[in-house]
Amino acid sequence: MRQKLLGVILVNLGTPAEPTPTSVRQFLRAFLSDPRVVDIPPWLWKTILNVFILPRRASRVARSYQNIWLQEGSPLRHYTRELADKLEASFRESGAVAGAIESVKVTWAMTYGEPSISQRVDDFKRQGIERIVLCPLYPQFSSTTTGSVYDCLFRYIGGTRNIPDLRCVHNYHDHPAYIEALAHSVEKHWQTHGRKQKLLISFHGLPERYIEQGDPYIDQCKATANLLAEYLQLKTDQWRTGFQSRFGRAKWVEPYADNIINDWVTQGIKTIDVLCPSFATDCLETLEEVGVEYRAMFQQAGGHDLTLIPCLNSSPAHVELITAVVREHF
C-alpha cells in the first residue's frame, strides 16, 4: 500500500496583525460577527457592534495589545507558530509514525484572520497531502471555539470538489498528557518562584444561556480543574475554579475570577498564583487581563503578589501533549 503524508493544522482563535486601532477593529469585527460567539439576532447585533462597540473598544484594546506585544509579534501568533514548528520537528525526529503514514507536516491557522483554515488545507492539498488532522488549541470543547472551527471546515467542504480526508480533534480536557503537562507547569513554577497561598484556576467564561442550550464547556472546565487539583494533591481550601473575560450585560457562568480574588483579599490572603488552562498559549486574556489588570486590582485591594503561571505555549510538555493527541487521530 502506498504510504501517505499526514498534515496537521494547529488552530488558534486569531489575533490582530498589528497592535493598532485599525488592525484591532478588523479582528474584533470578524470575531464578534461570528454567531457562534454572539448569538444576538444579526440585524440588531450589526448595529450595536459597528455603532457602539467597535468605535469604543478598538483604541483601548489596541493599547492593551501594545503592552504585551513581543518583538516577534503577537504572543498568540508567535507561540502557535513556534509550537507547530517544534511539533513537526518532533515527528521528524521520531521516525516512522504509524502504519501507512510516511511523514507528518505541521502548520498552523487562525479561525479569524490569516492564515485561514481553508488556506492551510489548500496548501496541504497542493503538496499532495491526502489526510489532514485539525487540532484546535482549545482543550475544552465549546460551540464558541471548536464549534467555529467545524463551521470553517463545513464551509470549505461545501465549496470544493476535491475533499481530502479531514479529521478534527474535538477536545482533550481530561487527556492524561494534558493534565500532566499542566501539573508539571505548576510544579516548575513553584520550584522557581515559590508557592503562593492560593491557586486560582481561571478559565475563559461563557454566557449562562449557552450552557442552558447544551454547550458542554463548563462541565469540561470543572473536570480539568478537579483532575489537576487531584494530581497536585491540593486540599479543597488551597484552590478554586473561576471564570474570566466577561463581555456585555448577559449573565455569565459564576464564580467570576475577579470576585474570588476580592473574596480572598477580605480573608487576609496576600499571595495568589493564577493558572489559565483553557488558553493553550499566552494572549491578551492571560498576559494583560490576569497579569496586569487582576494583579493591579489585587494589590489595590490590599493583596501583595498575584502571579500568572504561563500557559503551556511551545514548551516541550506541550509538544508531547499535542503529539499524543494527534497520534490518536492517525
| Cross-strand partners of 73 | 70
What does the alpha-carbon distance between residue 87 and residue 277 come to, in Å, rounded to a whole number? Answer: 20
In the predicted model, is pLDDT for residue 311 greater than 70? yes
What does the alpha-carbon distance between residue 183 and residue 200 come to, in Å, rounded to a whole number? Answer: 13
pLDDT at res. 97: 56
pLDDT, tens digit, 9 for 90 and up, residues 7-66? 999 999 999 999 999 999 999 999 999 999 999 999 999 999 999 999 999 999 999 999
Question: What grid cell was written down for 21?
Answer: 486601532
Characterize the bridge pairing of strands 239-244 and 198-204. Answer: parallel
Are 298 and 307 in contact by the 8 Å Cβ rule? The answer is no
Q: What is the pTM of this model?
A: 0.95
Share of the chain above pLDDT 90, in %: 93
pLDDT at res. 100: 61
pLDDT, tens digit, 9 for 90 and up, residues 231-280? 999 999 999 999 999 988 889 999 999 999 999 999 999 999 999 999 99
pLDDT at res. 218: 98
What does the alpha-carbon distance between residue 12 and residue 32 come to, in Å, rounded to a whole number? Answer: 16
How many beta carbons lie within 10 A of that of residue 234, not counting itself? 15
What does the alpha-carbon distance between residue 317 and residue 186 come to, in Å, rounded to a whole number? Answer: 12
- Neighbouring C-alpha atoms within 13 Å toward the C-beta of 309: 30
pLDDT at res. 1: 44
Torsion-angle region of 248 (φ positive above 0: left; ψ -120 to 50: alpha; else: beta): left
Share of the chain above pLDDT 70, in %: 97
The secondary structure of 286-324 as a DSSP string is IIIIIIIIIHHHHHHTT--EEEEPP--TT-HHHHHHHHH
| Cross-strand partners of 131 | 6, 165
Characterize the bridge pairing of strands 4-14 and 165-168. Answer: unpaired
What contacts 200, CB < 8 A, 6 or more positions away? 239, 240, 242, 257, 260, 261, 272, 273, 274, 275
Mean pLDDT of the chain: 95
What does the alpha-carbon distance between residue 204 and residue 253 come to, in Å, rounded to a whole number? Answer: 10
Are 273 and 309 in contact by the 8 Å Cβ rule? The answer is yes
Question: What grid cell was written down for 205?
Answer: 467564561
pLDDT at res. 98: 56
pLDDT at res. 212: 97
The secondary structure of 54-82 as a DSSP string is HHHHHHHHHHHHHHH-BTTB-HHHHHHHH
What does the alpha-carbon distance between residue 37 and residue 27 come to, in Å, rounded to a whole number? Answer: 13
What does the alpha-carbon distance between residue 265 and residue 105 come to, in Å, rounded to a whole number? Answer: 49
pLDDT at res. 3: 53
Give CA 157 to chain center in angstroms.
25
What does the alpha-carbon distance between residue 330 and residue 324 come to, in Å, rounded to a whole number? Answer: 11
pLDDT, tens digit, 9 for 90 and up, residues 69-96? 999 999 999 999 999 999 999 998 876 5
Of 277, 283, 221, nearest to 80 by C-alpha is 283
In the predicted model, is pLDDT for residue 2 greater than 90? no
Calculate Rg over the CA atoms of the chain: 20
Question: What grid cell was written down for 321?
Answer: 501533549
